[in-house]
Structure 1
Amino acid sequence: MPPSRFLLLDGSTLSEADLRGQVTLVNFWATSCVSCVRKMPDLVATYLKYRERGFETIAVAMSFDPPAMVANFAQTRQLPFKVALDSTGALARDWGEVRLTPTTFVVDRQARIAKRYLGPIDPAALNAFIEGLLA
């Protein structure tokens, strides 16, 4: 995982050091991305299924996404995981010039990127991959 400082909607920050020892899904998305919005319930289900086993999810809103829209989306959809704002685009840059949404990374317990997905993810395949990392 690249050195990262996630600015969360509640104003707190999270770094890669805070995530070490957990399997973490980092999803770059936007409220204007139809497939991102459509697949968000799958990410919620995956998070709820594995959170008690050392699994974390961070949904990173792209720099072009207005923070008020992101906050409203997270609140109305009652997203149970962490939501971060990438207002400057630094996170997208640091994670390999992310430009397409959704782009999703799965990071292992040693903070290494184990998998990168471009576009919508099949939830069964994602869950099977996460199971393997949590085993």
Structure 2
Amino acid sequence: MTPRRRALAGWIAVGGAAAAAGAGVAWWRYRPGPVFSEAEAAFWALQLDDPQGAPVAMSMFQGRPLLVNFWATWCPPCVEELPLLNRFHEARSGQGWQVVGLAVDQPSAVRQFVQKLPLRFPVAMAGLGGTELSRRLGNPSGGLPYTVVFGAEGRVLHRKIGKVSEADLDQWAQLG
């Protein structure tokens, strides 16, 4: 092997190692953490308000599969995934699926937002307390968006930190 090819092979090896290290760090940082033992019961006991101030009890969603999405109007990936969640809600509600958005935001910002992009699923105001709720449900960084899938029996089946994809939703639809 010529010196030039040896140097190129060395650079390729260094680049591959750097890519593998970066992927490992990303996996570690964005993997969901454990769900705290009391978190599921606390979630189902929760009552929040919708953007207009009407009460939304999480208990009204029990008994059917539920996708809970923590989002905010100031979060670009959150805003990007909302039309996909609207479509999931429309396509899967006939199969028993429910979707609820928990806005980690100000009610006035959410009211303005839903006038521009109407959401066909219920939205409740989680406010800053939504970050702590998402942490108890396995989101150690409190980052947004964060999605939790509950089965019909009320247990957490799946969680994802970051923007959901069509493939995620198709996979989760099989869990319910």
| Structure ranking higher in helix proportion | 2
Question: What percent of counterpart residues are identical?
Answer: 25
Mark the runs of 5 or more structure 1 residues left unpaired by the alignment.
Answer: none
Aligned counterparts of 1:106 and 1:128: Cα–Cα separation in 2: 11
RCO higher in 1 or 2 (8 Å CA, sep ≥ 6)? 1
Q: Map 1:1-135; keep pairs closer than 5 Å.
A: 1-3=40-42, 4-62=46-104, 65-87=105-127, 89-97=128-136, 98=139, 99-133=142-176
2:76 is aligned with what amino acid?
V
Q: Report the alpha carbon displacement of residue 33 of structure 1 after superposing the two structures with TM.
A: 0.5
Q: Which structure shows the higher strand fraction?
A: 1
Larger Cα Rg: Structure 1 or Structure 2?
2
Give structure 2 stretches of 5+ with no counterpart.
Answer: 1-39
Post-superposition, which runs of at least 4 consecutive aligned residues in structure 1 deviate over 6 A? Answer: none
Q: Normalising by structure 1, what TM-score?
A: 0.85
Cα root mean square deviation, aligned: 1.7
> SS of 1:115's equivalent?
strand
Distance 1:118 1:100 in 2: 7
- 2-structure distance, mates of 1:94, 1:45: 26
1:6 is displaced (CA, Å) by 2.8
